[in-house]
Chain A
């Protein structure tokens, strides 16, 4: 027997002992308060943001609240399934079956490691590529001391390429090293509760190789975000603004609205009124026929800025008050 096989055999025996031992022991129910506290805190912050009229902040906090509530639900579900498993009848695999499972993993995966000290069985997947997006290799680390608990295993990105908006999301269905098992949950729970470690690792690997559009922590379309053309920050699709004139992608902070029409523009497509200093798009500014500066509708009259208008008016008055009406400049459309 090779040293590797001895380690595999030892791991199989320990894992089996754990399976059989935990079967007869009632498991304490442990509910984490971390996410629930976060939900309550965000809820208070949203109320405060609304009271102060901070609509943008309220929207962002709302998105954070969704994430916190999903995490909270995930924790509850995990605990619920662990509790259900602990009372359900099951037939644990024999030590020899577990041993064969461990040996077979070497044919199925790039790498298999056993850490007896950390009671971990770990496999490395091949490179995961979903819709041309390279997410790298992942380690699936099973802790056989936690088989009955909600977090029996972790999914660790070895060469992480996380989502731009959230670096704890290393795969569309992995956040904080936890896989959201989706359709695979019952089969994974069944495999773990029976000690079928080969099936467990294969199931997790197949979920990692699958992208469920519409059910991801971060959708692949938004994975790398789009850089704001003003500040370079990554902008998610549903938070994007587009310049009404040049169609540049802008973030919430860099998109400025024209004080005349209210449309959003980049800084290059907005100018200031030479009189009041307000920001306007080119369609809402008029060039004074005399001084050639640009003015908003309020600061311009009949094609002349107030200053030029008054100046011209007084000049006409001084020259021939009786011709004042005849020499008044023709009205120029804005």
Chain B
């Protein structure tokens, strides 16, 4: 098991430490946490840097998913 900081900037902006299985890749975490999303619709960062889909996550990593399209409004 590994403990990472997982941030999902979709919706209410979840940010917390979570446990993941050893060897989990970025792609697997995305599929698990954002089951209805497409990776191309998100800025995916590991330790604030762009990451490859097959990058294996390490203990203490900071992973963030931010939608590329966020709709503003008038009020």
Query: Does chain A have a CB within 8 A of B38?
Result: no
User: By the criterion CB–CB under 8 Å, are B15 and A190 in contact?
Assistant: yes
Given A186-B12, A187-B10, A187-B11, A181-B73 contact (CB < 8 Å): yes
Residue of A nearest to B70 (CB): A184
A5 to chain B, nearest CB (A): 15
Chain A residues numbered 142-196 whose CB sits less than 8 Å from any CB in chain B? 172-173, 179-184, 186-191, 194, 196
Q: Which residue of B lies closest to A185 (CB)?
A: B73
Q: Is A223 an interface residue (CB 8 A)?
A: no
- Our pick among B48, B67, B71 for the contact of A215 (Cβ within 8 Å) is B71
On whether the beta carbons of A196 and B7 are closer than 8 Å, the reply is yes
B interface residue count range (under 10 / 10 to 19 / 20 to 34 / 35 or more): 20 to 34
Cβ proximity bits B36-70 to A, threshold 8 Å, 1 near / 0 not = 00000001000111000000000000001011111
Query: Looking at the complex, which one of A77, A172, A191 makes contact with B72 (CB distance below 8 Å)?
Result: A172
Q: How far is the CA of A187 from the CA of B13 in the complex (A)?
A: 4
Assess the B72–A188 pair: CB atoms within 8 A: no
Chain A residues, Cβ within 8 Å of B71: 182-184, 207, 210, 212, 215
A265 at the interface (CB under 8 A from B): no
Known A-B contacts A104-B48, A191-B9; A199 and B66 likewise in contact (beta carbons under 8 Å)? yes
Q: List, in ascending order, chain B residues with CB within 8 A of A207's CB.
A: 70-72
CA distance A107 to B45 in the complex (A): 12
Binding site of B, secondary structure by majority: helix, strand, loop or mixed? loop
Interface residue from A188, A190, A199, A215 paired with B73 (Cβ < 8 Å): A215
**Is the pair B13, A206 in contact by a Cβ cutoff of 8 Å?**
no
A217 at the interface (CB under 8 A from B): yes
The answer for the CA separation of A178 and B46 in the assembled complex, in Å, is: 30
B68 proximity list for chain A (CB < 8 A): 206, 209-210
Query: When the two chains form their complex, are residues A70 and B75 in contact, meaning their CB atoms are under 8 A apart?
Result: yes
A210 touches B11 (CB 8 A): no
Contact between B15 and A203 (Cβ–Cβ < 8 Å)?
A: no
Residues of B within 8 A of A73 (CB): 75
Cβ B72 vs Cβ A187 within 8 A: no
A184–B72 touching, CB < 8 Å: yes
Residues of A within 8 A of B43 (CB): 202, 206
Binary per-residue interface labels of chain B (7-30) against chain A in the complex, 1 for a CB within 8 Å, 0 otherwise: 101111111000000000000000
Find chain A residues with CB under 8 A from B15 CB: 190-191, 194, 196, 199
Given A73-B75, A190-B15, A194-B15, residue A210 in contact with residue B70 (CB < 8 A): yes
Q: Is the CB of A206 within 8 A of B69?
A: yes
Does A202 contact B66, Cβ atoms closer than 8 Å?
yes
Query: In the complex the two chains form, is B72's CB within 8 Å of A215's CB?
Result: yes
For A189, give its contact among B7, B13, B48 (CB under 8 Å): B13
What is the bound-complex CA distance between A71 and B74, given in angstroms? Answer: 9
Instruction: List 4 tightest A-B contacts by C-beta distance, closest first.
Output: A173-B72, A187-B13, A190-B13, A182-B73
Chain B residues near A (Cβ < 8 Å): 7, 9-15, 43, 47-49, 64, 66-75
Query: What are 26 A-B residue pairs whose CB atoms fall within 8 Å in the complex?
Result: A74-B75, A104-B48, A173-B72, A173-B73, A180-B72, A183-B72, A186-B12, A186-B13, A187-B10, A187-B12, A187-B70, A189-B13, A190-B14, A199-B64, A203-B13, A203-B66, A203-B70, A206-B66, A208-B72, A209-B69, A210-B68, A210-B69, A212-B72, A215-B73, A215-B74, A216-B72
Q: A187-B70, A215-B72 are in contact. List 7 more A-B contacts (CB 8 A).
A: A104-B49, A182-B73, A183-B73, A189-B13, A191-B15, A203-B9, A212-B72
